[in-house]
Structure 1
Amino acid sequence: MKSDAERWLITGASGQLGSHLIRQLAGDPHAPTLLALVGRGSTGTPGVHEERVDLADADGLRRCVERFRPTHVLHVGAMSAVADCHERPYDAERINAEATRVLAQVAAAGGARLVYTSTDMVFAGDAAPYRETDRPRPLSIYGRTKLEGEQAVAVFDRSLVVRLPLMYGFPLSTRETTFTKQIAALRRGEPLKLFGDEFRTPVWLSDAAAALIGLARSELAGLIHVAGPERLSRYELIEGCARLLGIESPRLAAVSRNSIASPEPRPADLSLDGARFARLLPELAPRPVRPAVFAC
Structure 2
Amino acid sequence: MRLLIVGGTGFLGGELARRALAAGHTVAATFMTRPGATPGVARSPLDVRDREAVAELVGTLAPDVVVNTAYRKPDWTATADGAAHVALAVAAAGGRLVHVSSDAVFSGEAVTYAEDSVPDPVSPYGAAKAAAEVAVRAIAPGAVVVRTSLIVGDGRSGHESFVRALATGQRQGVLFTDDVRCPVHVEDLAAALLELAGSDRRGIHHVAGADAVSRYELGCLVARRDGLDPARLARGRRADTDVPGPLDVRLDCTATQQVLRTRLRGAREFLR
Fold-level similarity (TM above 0.5):
yes
Q: SS at 2:12's partner residue?
A: helix
The residue type equivalent to 2:33 in the other structure is R
Alignment of 1:19 with 2:3, yes or no, is no
Q: SS at 1:148's partner residue?
A: helix
The 3 A distance-change label for structure 1 pair 237 and 178 is closer
In structure 1, the partner of 2:271 is: 293
| TM, length-normalised to structure 1 | 0.86
Alignment of 1:162 with 2:146, yes or no, is yes
- Unmatched tracts of structure 1, length 5 or more: 1-5, 86-91
In structure 2, the partner of 1:200 is: 181
CA contact (8 A) 1:189 1:251 kept: no
The one of 51, 62, 65 aligned to 1:72: 65
The 3 A distance-change label for structure 1 pair 145 and 65 is same
Alignment of 1:44 with 2:37, yes or no, is yes
CA contact (8 A) 2:137 2:143 kept: yes
Q: SS at 2:258's partner residue?
A: helix
In structure 1, the partner of 2:248 is: 269
Show the 5 A alignment for 1:153-232: 153-155=136-138, 156-170=140-154, 177-187=158-168, 192-232=173-213
Alpha-carbon distance, 1:143 to partner:
0.8
The 3 A distance-change label for structure 1 pair 250 and 21 is farther
Q: C-alpha offsets along residues 3-30 of structure 1, whole Å, 9 cap, x if unaligned?
A: xxx11110111111111111111211xx
Alignment of 1:278 with 2:253, yes or no, is no
Percent identity of paired positions between Structure 1 and Structure 2 = 33
Alpha-carbon distance, 1:219 to partner:
0.9
In 2, Cα distance between equivalents of 1:250 and 1:161: 39
CA contact (8 A) 1:128 1:269 kept: yes
Show the 5 A alignment for 1:122-161: 122-155=105-138, 156-161=140-145
In 1, Cα distance between equivalents of 2:131 and 2:173: 34
Alpha-carbon distance, 1:235 to partner:
0.1
- Unmatched tracts of structure 2, length 5 or more: none
In 1, Cα distance between equivalents of 2:231 and 2:36: 31
| TM, length-normalised to structure 2 | 0.93
Alpha-carbon distance, 1:258 to partner:
2.5
The residue type equivalent to 1:186 in the other structure is A
RMSD: 1.8
In 1, Cα distance between equivalents of 2:154 and 2:48: 24
Alpha-carbon distance, 1:260 to partner:
2.5
The residue type equivalent to 2:264 in the other structure is P
In 1, Cα distance between equivalents of 2:17 and 2:100: 15
In 2, Cα distance between equivalents of 1:12 and 1:250: 37
Q: C-alpha offsets along residues 201-242 of structure 1, whole Å, 9 cap, x if unaligned?
A: 110111111111111111110111112111100000111121
Alpha-carbon distance, 1:177 to partner:
2.1
Q: C-alpha offsets along residues 23-54 of structure 1, whole Å, 9 cap, x if unaligned?
A: 111211xx222111011213311111111111
The number of aligned residues is 271
Alpha-carbon distance, 1:187 to partner:
4.2
